[in-house]
Amino acid sequence: MGWLWAIIVGFVLGLIAKAIIPGKQHSPLWLTTIFGMLGAIVGNAIARGFGVEETSGIDWSRHAFQLVAAIVIVFLGDMLYMATLGRRKQRA
C-alpha cells in the first residue's frame, strides 16, 4: 500500500507543481509523477532537517516542503527533458 500512496502523492504534487510553474512544461505525465515522488522524498528530508516530524492530523508544514521541492524538481527535470529531446531531434 505504501507504493500506491507514493504514486498518488507524486502524481498530485507533480500536477500542482506543473500548474504553478509558468509556461508550458513538455515532460510526459509519467515523468511528472516521478518528479513529484522525488519532490515528496526530498521535501520530507528537508522537513526532517528543520525538525518537522510526523504529527497527528495534517502536517501542513511538511506538505509545504514537499510542494516546494516538487516545484524545483519538476522545473529542473523538464528543462533537462527538453534538452535531451532537442539533442535527439538534431541527430535525426
Q: How many domains does the chain have?
A: 1
pLDDT score recorded for residue 3 = 84
Range of the domain at 76: 2-91
pTM, 2 dp: 0.86
* CB 43, CB 62: distance < 8 Å: yes
Q: Per residue in 30-45, pLDDT tens?
A: 999 999 999 999 998 9
Average pLDDT over residues 11-35: 93
Exposed, middle or buried: residue 68 (CB in 10 Å: 0-12, 13-18, 19+)? middle
